[in-house]
Amino acid sequence: MMSIYAQELLAKGRAEGEARGEARGKALGEAYGLQKGESGLLLRQIQRKFGPAPAWVTTRLENAVPGELALWSERILDVDSLEALFDESGSTNRSH
């Protein structure tokens, strides 16, 4: 049989754990939503500039990390091909 003090400690620990779990879940959900929004916007920009996106492009966007999405979102303004957009060497083929 647990003492009242032990029950209170257990309840407090459970409540703190649930609060931390909810906060972490919310943060992860927001980050995921932001990434999906960024990749969706970049896909629309790609389609506007280059036409329908090949399957490899959508796969690349789906598997991107946030830093890549930011880089590609800036780079799309300067490149003249999809290959240059996703070039990992860091160079761009400027169209102007």
Helix 55-62 and helix 4-50: axis angle, to 10°? Answer: 150
- Of 55 and 24, more confident: 55
Which pTM value belongs to this model?
Answer: 0.60
Q: What is the pLDDT of residue 60?
A: 93
Hey, CA dihedral for 61, 65, 70, 75, is it positive or negative? negative
30-85 pLDDT, tens per residue?
556 666 778 899 999 999 999 999 999 999 998 988 789 999 999 999 999 999 99
